[in-house]
Amino acid sequence: MRIIVPPDRTARLAQILADSDAVTNVAVVPGAAREPDGDLVFCDVVREGASGVIDRLGDLDIQRDGAIMLEHVDIALSASVDRAERLVPGLGVDAVVWQEIEHNTGEESTLSGAFLTFMIVATVVAAIGVLRDLPILIVGAMAAGPDYGPLAGLCVGLVRRRPRLARRALVALVAGFSAAAAVTVLATWLLDAIGVVDRSMLLAPRPLTSFIWQPDALSWVVGVLAGIAGMLSLTSAKSTTLVGVLISVTTIPAAGNAAVALAYGVPDEAAGSALQLVINLAAIVLAGVATLLVQRLVWRRGHRGADEH
């Protein structure tokens, strides 16, 4: 943790850090900061205690008059760090740094040009995949789709009571899927006009991808499991796990299939794909919110126990 603190609050900051079992290797460099002016403080904080430490620093209004920066340390060869890990309850891999999660999901929930481009490209790829009945294209579309970022942001916004974050995530989801579906309809018409695809491809038997527009009870099961795994991958910073989550749900493929069905006037398939999309989105959000609530409950109990100790 790297902190720029106004000089009149350095002593209180140093005391907060000294009183925390999660903090070690504290270094204070008086007058080193120039923009903003202040003292520069370095310290190491074990992950399982980081959120509590940041909460305590909030009383000093350092975010307003200074800065708090967090950096991941891959390797720390230090007896004091080992001691801090033993003193603080829990494991670092299970710890949730709430401020980090809010920041990361806030960035991923922004309706940007890159987000819209990824949504459109992934949905068009998925549309081609369902027309050609090629699962490999469906998997590629799932992996390329950026929709899990706003979904996670919505979950965090609801649990942490951050209405701006939840609203921004919801806007990104609605706008992203709407734009992607609209462009996919236009792309389908264009490809049909030049003879690359045709309506018969949609109406032909597609045993490998028909599940996309035929949701069942397992759609809920997969969505819930994906929501749990996805949220755990974010809170524990396991990005490799998140890739597996992205290719296990059919949000992007369902949007692509719905757009193609609309383009060719096949209402039953469009409705089935839309239902598949709604089921997956709802299951992911419900499971993600539940996972965060459980993690918050566990964290509060551990934090309370550490304070009492």
pLDDT for 49 equals 80
pLDDT on residue 304? 53
Residues 6+ apart with CB under 8 A from 93: 47, 236
Q: Which residue do the tokens 């920066």 mark?
A: 69
Of 225, 226, 206, 186, the residue nearest 273 (C-alpha):
206
Question: Residues in the chain with pLDDT < 50?
Answer: 305-309
The set of long-range contacts for 211-217, using a CB threshold of 8 Å and a minimum separation of 24, is 211/250, 212/130, 212/138, 212/250, 212/253, 212/254, 212/257, 212/273, 212/276, 213/254, 213/257, 213/258, 213/261, 213/269, 213/270, 213/272, 213/273, 213/276, 214/272, 214/276, 215/272, 215/275, 215/276, 215/279
Q: What is the pLDDT of residue 247?
A: 61
- pLDDT score of 80: 84
pTM of structure = 0.80
Contact 260, 254 (CB under 8 A): no
Q: Report which of 247, 229, 217 is spatially closest to residue 288, judged by C-alpha positions.
A: 229
Token pair belonging to 164: 């701006």
Does residue 67 contact residue 57 with C-beta atoms inside 8 Å?
Answer: no
* pLDDT of res. 309: 46
Strand (E) or helix (H) holding 291:
helix 267-308
Integer Cα distance of 180 and 141 in angstroms: 12
Q: Specify the DSSP class assigned to residue 21.
A: T
Between 98-108 and 47-57, two packed helices, what is the crossing angle to 10 degrees?
90
Instruction: With beta carbons less than 8 A apart as the criterion, state whether 150 and 108 touch.
Output: yes
- Two structure tokens written together for 280: 């997956």
By DSSP bridging, strand 23-34 and strand 67-69 are unpaired
Match 């999901």 to its residue by tokens.
105
pLDDT at 246: 63
**pLDDT at position 20:** 85
Looking at residue 308, what is its pLDDT?
46
**Structure token digits, residue 79:** 């007896």
